Structures are given as C-alpha cells and as structure tokens.
Chain A
Amino acid sequence: MDKIKNPIGRALIHAALVLFSIYSIVPFYWTFLQSFKSFKDANSRTPKFFFTPTWENYQELWLRSVPENGALIAYIILMAVVILICLLLFAKYIPVRDGFIYAFVAVGFVALLWGIPKLVETAKFYDYFINTIIVTVGTVVVSITIGSLAAYGLARYAGLLGVILLVAALGFRALPRLAFILPYFWMGSAINLLDTHLLVILTMVAVNQPFTIWMLRSFFMEIPADLEEAAMIDGASRLTAFRKVIIPIMWPGIISTALFSLLLAYNEFLLVRVLTQTTWTLPVAISRYTGGEDPAHLTIAAAAAVSATIPIILVILFFQKNLVKGLASGAVKG
C-alpha cells in the first residue's frame, strides 16, 4: 500500500505500534525483572523497577550447590557457547566445507551439555533441560524425514489414496490431543514404555505428522516436476533424484517446517504431562512451579520461565525469516 506522508499520521502509527509492542512484551519484561530480584524486592507491595540484581534465583534453579570458583566456570561455559554460535554464524566465511563446521558445532554442543554436570553439581532442572533437547531434536529429525518423503509423494501423485491421506491428516490435526493421549497412556503402560523418551518422541512425531505433511507438501508443489524427471531420464532412480535434486532446492522450506516442528515439540505440555512421571520436559517441569501458593516460588518460577524462553528466542532470531516465510506460504496455500 502507498504510505501516509503526513508527519502527524506517521507519529500516530508509530505510537500505535509501540503500544502494541508493549502489550506483546510486558509479561516477558516483568518476568525477566522478577527473576533477578531478591525475595524481598520481588514481594514488595508496589512494583519495583530499580533494585540490585541478583543471580540467586538462577543458581537455585540450575545448581544443587554453588562451586567456589563458580564465576570462572560460568565464564568458561559462556565463552564456549559464544564461540560455537559465532562459528555457526560465520560458517560461510570460513574456508572449510560448511558441513564440517555444522558437524563440529553439533559435537561441541553435545560435549558441552554432557560435560557441564561433571564440572558443577547441577539440579533437576538441568536434567529436564536435557530431556527437552533430546525429545525436541528426536521429534524434529524423525518427523521431517518421514514427513518429507510422504509430502513429496503427495505433491507428485494425483489419486484417491493421496486425498484419503491428506484428509485423514487434516482430521487428525483438528482432533483434540486428549482423544489420542489416553489410548497412548494405555498402550504405553501395556508395552511398558511409559516414562521413556522413545514413547514421547514417537507420539509427538505422530501428533506433528499431519501438520508436517501439509506444510511440506505446499512447498513441494511449487517445484516443477521437470527437474527430477530430467535427472531420471539420465538414469537416476526416483529416490536418488529426490535426494540429489529436490532436497537441495527444498532446503529453505524444510527449515521452515522444521522450525514449526521444533516449536510444537518444545512447547508440548499435555502429552508429556500424561506420558511421563520423571522424564519431564521443561513445560511440565515449569508448570510445577505454578502449583503452590508459596511466595518463595515466585522468583524461581520467573527464573525458570526466562531460562526456558532464552534458547527458543535465540533459535528464532537466527531463523526469523524462515518462520515468517513459513507462516506466509502456509497461508497462501490455505
């Protein structure tokens, strides 16, 4: 649309947008402040905006005991994370193949996560964090792999079988989770898989599958079929053509879909709440902090909320374009 030139009008537009920004950000901002307050500051009668920040809440959340040279260890861990993220950001400019750098960063993160409990005594929250990472990564990898195969098939095959699969998927997307979760619970207890990562990952893949198929299909539909047909005339099998020709073109679409899968898996509450007793992920662990009326929990809960949000914000900032593009393309097709 053409833009309003009038300066007063422009100022009003910005004012409205700032107002809406405040509305969007205020809960996060307030919780962030609370998480750095001491017990007394957090429970004062009038809200405090100026106070001496403290790490106490985060220490109590993540650590069982505070080590003597804690500051040094924290510094080393932070530096390691920053170096790994920088490697990821500047992978393009380093004269080594990108694949190697990504693999190195992945190994680095795994080693770091594995090594931290050896350095300091971590509390339960750290275990929940690890659980969340395992479940999320597992779900994204499995559901994108099988989802892209099915979505490619759907995009290239016109027939009733495809319609049935798509409609079934849409139906399942719409069904309330609880309709499935109770049978999952029943199945899980029958084959003794309750409280394992495997059951959670498998069920999450199933629950996310409809969405994954629909979104990936809309991306595959945009790629002309001539591309892989050319490869197949040259003697490649369809699977090879799919792997070598289609997937590289599809990469942005796959990342968009993976991002949504990641959000769904990272956020899932109900499924994990019902299917696990000890191997909680963060949403379930955090919901525990809201249970009690105990005011001492207030600041810890705030610290937990911020801790669970920071990783996801980092991931999204990194991939924001893909997220917006994904929302848009899903919409255009719908």
Chain B
Amino acid sequence: MKRNTFFRFASPSIIIMMLLMVIPLIMAIWLGTNYVTYNNIASPQFVGLRNFIEVLEDPVFWRSFRFTGLYMIVVVPMQIIVGFTVAILLDQVSKFSRGIYLSIFLLPFIIVPIVGTLMFKQLFEPSGLLRWAYQTIFDTKFLYTEITVKALILFHGVWLATPFALVTYFAGIQTLPIEQIEAASIDGASGWQKIRYIVIPHVRSLTIFILLISLMDAYRIFDSIFVLTRMNPIYKADTLMTYTFKTAMTVQRLGKADAMAVLTVVGVMIILIPNLIQTYKEQMRER
C-alpha cells in the first residue's frame, strides 16, 4: 500500500487522536505549569515548575505511589498464578462443563467494575454474607479499618483481574502441540513435569502479554478504590489515580493534579519499552 492511500485510510483516526489525545496531553503538561482552580479556569496563572515540585514533596503522593505499588505486586502475580492453575484444571474437564464454568468465570470480567465493587461491598454491609462469616469465624466485630479496607481492595483486585489471565491462558493451552505431549507421555513424564517443561514454555509469550496489560491496568486502578473507600482519607488507601482525582475534584487544584498525572505517565513508559521495540520490528517488516 502506498503512503498516500494509507494516509487516506488512517486520517479519521489520526484526526481524532490528534484532537483528543495529543493536544490534551500537551495541554496537561501546560496546565501542570499553571496555578488553576475552578475559580480562575479561564485565566490560569503561570507558576513554572512549582506544581511538580509540590507534588514530589507531597507525602500523600508518595504514600499513594507505595499503595499502587503494593496493589501491583499483590494482584498481578496472584492473577497470573490463579488464572494459570484454573486454566490447566479447566482443560481437564469435558467440553460441555467447560462452557458452563467459563460463563461463570467470565462474570467478574463483564460486570461493570463499579457495580462489581458495589456487589463486593454488599457482602460486607452490616447484614452482609461475608461480614457475618467473618464474625462467626473470628468471633470479633468486622470494622472498616485501614487494614481491612486495604485487604478488601486487594481481594477485590484479584477477583476482578483473574478472568482475563484465565481465559487467555485457557486459549493458549488449546494450541499446545499434541505430538510433544504424547512423546512426553511415552517417555513417562509426570503431569507436573509436562506442565513445567512443555506448557509453561509454550505460554511464555502469553505471560508477557498478560503481565503487560495487567500491570498497566493495576497501575491505573481507580473505580474499586473509589467505591470501597468512599474517598475517605482515613483508610490511607489512595492510589495514584484516586489521589489525582481528589486533588482535581475535591481540593480543586487542577494544575497540581495535571502535574501529578504527567508524573505518573513516566512510570507507565518504563513498563512499555520492551513492547515498543517489538512493535517497531514487526511493523517495519515487508509485506
């Protein structure tokens, strides 16, 4: 395809992305260097890098950063381990039961995240099922404290993220080379050995893919924290996103919030570098 034809095909998309992604991004960087609140939204006041310095010196920003990190460290490995294990088990059952299990497993993935969180919260309301279970087992009252709220957020995070890894792995396992498995069986390999030496290497590229997507998703987790903490600062469970949101909407410091958003972008870019290199190689190939 010639360059001109390509341009004609891609232009609507390029225009939209220019208008609504590139320009806003430049604006975000520019707004980050201004003192803006809702009162002077039409006439921002230039303050240079002061917003950025203020963000970097803000202890709450770093606390949010640490909690976002904790969320990623807990949720991403858990979703990969649980997702892989269940995918292996799912591969063992008959086609008919697979369909039923799969429909159920997909539920957390398709339910609106806000609604899913709300449903989770219902379990811990004063009459909720899990609160009752908790109180029966531990014989103490369930209270919303910093620790329980954080644990709840992480628990919900695993619930929310696992189906994606599960289905992806399941699809990957369907493409396993049969001859290899058969050869291994003839050689007397145990199930565990087959998983270790055939399945895991086979799904390696999938693991990288899941890792990439879920790290990005975990990095910008917002909805569930928003609902579970009710934006109440006493739980100290802010993530980068909720803290930025709060700075923009509650404290109404738009400029500072934008500076914060720009700074979080730097973190994302580091995760992406390997993928960018691969894209370059793939797209430049003659076809």
Contact = CB atoms under 8 A, between A and B. Distances in A.
Contact of B230 (A189, A274, A290): A290
B6 A157 contact: yes
A149 B13 contact: yes
B249 interface: yes
B280 A163 contact: yes
A178 B245 contact: yes
Interface string A295-317: 10010011001001100110011
B248 A178 contact: yes
Contact of B123 (A30, A301, A312, A334): A30
B115 to A, nearest CB: 5
B55 interface: no
A1 B122 contact: no
Contacts of B125: 298
Contacts of A154: 6, 10, 283
B140 interface: no
B48 to A, nearest CB: 19
B12 A146 contact: yes
Most A Cβ at <10 Å: residue of B9, B90, B264: B9
Nearest to A333: B209
Given A150-B10, A186-B41, A43 B220 contact: no
A183 B28 contact: yes
A30 B199 CA distance: 37
Contacts of A287: 114, 118, 226-227
A157 B2 CA distance: 7
A214 B269 CA distance: 18
A330 to B, nearest CB: 8
Contacts of A165: 10, 13-14
Interface in A51-67: none
B234 interface: no
Contact of A286 (B97, B118, B265, B280): B118
Contacts, number: 326
Contacts of B171: 324-325, 327-328, 331-332
Nearest to A150: B13
A323 B244 contact: no
A327 B22 CA distance: 28
B193 interface: no
Contacts of A305: 115, 118-119, 122
Contacts of A298: 122, 125, 127
Contacts of A332: 171-172, 175, 206
A149 B122 contact: no
Contacts of B2: 157
Interface residues of B, number: 119
A278 B65 CA distance: 33
B31 interface: yes
B139 to A, nearest CB: 15
A181 B114 CA distance: 18
Contacts of B27: 183, 186-187
Contacts of A163: 279-280, 283-284
Contact of A157 (B1, B88, B208, B269): B1
B86 to A, nearest CB: 5
A242 B1 CA distance: 13
B27 to A, nearest CB: 4
A156 B1 contact: yes
Most A Cβ at <10 Å: residue of B12, B113, B286: B12
B56 interface: no
Interface string B86-119: 1011111100010001111111101111111011
Contacts of A270: 222-223, 241, 245
Contacts of B8: 153
B66 interface: no
Interface of A: 1-4, 10, 13-14, 16-17, 20-21, 23-28, 30-31, 34, 42-47, 145-147, 149-150, 152-154, 156-163, 165-180, 182-184, 186-187, 189, 202-203, 205-207, 209-210, 213, 225, 238, 242, 263, 266-267, 269-270, 274, 282-283, 286-287, 289-291, 295, 298, 301-302, 305, 308-309, 312-313, 316-317, 320, 323-325, 327-328, 330-332, 334
Q: Lowest 7 CB-CB distances: which A-B pairs, in order?
A: A328-B171, A334-B209, A206-B20, A153-B9, A150-B13, A183-B24, A27-B119
15 contacts: A1-B181, A14-B93, A17-B93, A20-B86, A30-B119, A157-B6, A158-B285, A159-B284, A178-B244, A180-B20, A182-B248, A186-B31, A270-B245, A298-B125, A305-B119
